[in-house]
Amino acid sequence: MRFMASKNKLRFCVIGCGNISLKYSINALIESENSEVVVCVDHGQSKKKIVEERFRLPFETSFGRALKDYDFDAVYIATPTASHKEFALEAAENKKHILCEKSLAANFVDAKEIIMAAQNNKLGLFEGFMYQFHNQNVFIREMLKNNVIGEVFMINAWFGFPKRRNTDFRLIKHKGGGGLLDAGAYTVHLARNILAAEPININADLQIRKEIDISGSINLGFTQNRHAHLYYSMDSFYKNKYELWGKKGNIRVERAFSVAPDYEPEIIIETKEGVEKITLKPDNHFIKEIDYFCENHLRPSVRKQWYKEAAAQAMTLENIVQWNNAAG
């Protein structure tokens, strides 16, 4: 027997019921007017009771079983990074659109394979950097468009947090662990997208501990003498900010990448007129990302841009690792 869902929304199978899924993402998929959750999949039976009682949703421990017994259009992948490829390729083979948490894959080769599978099957594939949909980042892009701080020539960004338990997937190599894929990826994505360009030179110093990059300092150089200084850490005091230095002023975002739906974002703008602190209303970037995906996954021109963006992000991360390895 196949479990059916309504036809007027994009129907999702959630793969991976970790902390973020249980706290934010499943709720967002339910609350969005464009989506609904048909089934949740996780290898651990411990999540079954939570999913069934909190969300009143079916739960399976096998994606293959979910494909066989449930009718859905897309997958939301929120498993450890190294497993993204397996689930994404199986989803693509079964003609399911793919919304995948960052980072798309553990390396460029795997990312390219996922992208090609989606492209060959004419599917939407979006790498989920949801911070970009938050109202504070929409607000800042509008300010940059209006030339409030002039041309941006320097970006500073930080994302770091205290050490997790040793069992956390971020600290396990074969699960796709490492700070660059988890925290550093945000800062790299920000720099590439704010400057709307790919770096032409890279300098990186990654601190490796038991085969895992625990922290890193990255300098990216872009054309027209523009630069980004990025730092990430998985063993530090919490820091989650970025700063844009322009010819006419400076913008600082106090909580940049991980933003709870009830948080009131603060933006500090410095120009020759003085310093202005702007507090915006809370926003749910989880729902906004889902809405964006649902509204655009069938548009060939948008899908093409998604493929290109995911490949460029993966290539930059790969180049950072290779530069660090070459430097010794």
Mean pLDDT of 171-190: 94
Domain 10-130, classified CATH 3.30.930.10, yes or no: no
Q: Above 80 in pLDDT, residue 244?
A: yes
pLDDT band for position 7 (50/70/90)?
Answer: low
Which ranges of the chain does DSSP label H, i.e. alpha helix? 19-20, 26-31, 46-50, 63-69, 84-93, 108-120, 135-145, 179, 185-194, 285-296, 300-327
CA distances to 39, 55, 73, 88 from 66, in Å: 7, 17, 12, 14
Q: Above 60 in pLDDT, residue 243?
A: yes
Residue extent(s) of CATH 3.40.50.720 domains in the chain:
10-130
pLDDT at residue 156 in the model: 98
Our CA angle for 44, 46, 50, nearest 5°, is 120
Mean pLDDT of 234-239: 96
173-177, 225-229, 240-244, 265-269: least confident range = 173-177
pLDDT at residue 45 in the model: 82
Cα distance between residue 230 and residue 129, in whole Å: 17
The mean pLDDT of the chain is 95
pLDDT at residue 1 in the model: 39
CA proximity to 154, closest of 254, 267, 230: 230
Question: What does the pLDDT look like over 36-55, one tens digit per residue?
Answer: 999 999 997 889 999 999 99
Question: What does the pLDDT look like over 60-115, one tens digit per residue?
Answer: 999 999 999 999 999 999 999 999 999 999 999 999 999 999 999 999 999 999 99
Mean pLDDT of 183-201: 98
Range picked from 38-52, 167-181, 307-321 for highest mean pLDDT: 307-321
Q: Above 60 in pLDDT, residue 5?
A: no
pLDDT at residue 8 in the model: 81
Residue extent(s) of CATH 3.30.360.10 domains in the chain:
135-282
pLDDT at residue 186 in the model: 98
The CATH H-level superfamily of 135-282 is Dihydrodipicolinate Reductase; domain 2 (3.30.360.10)
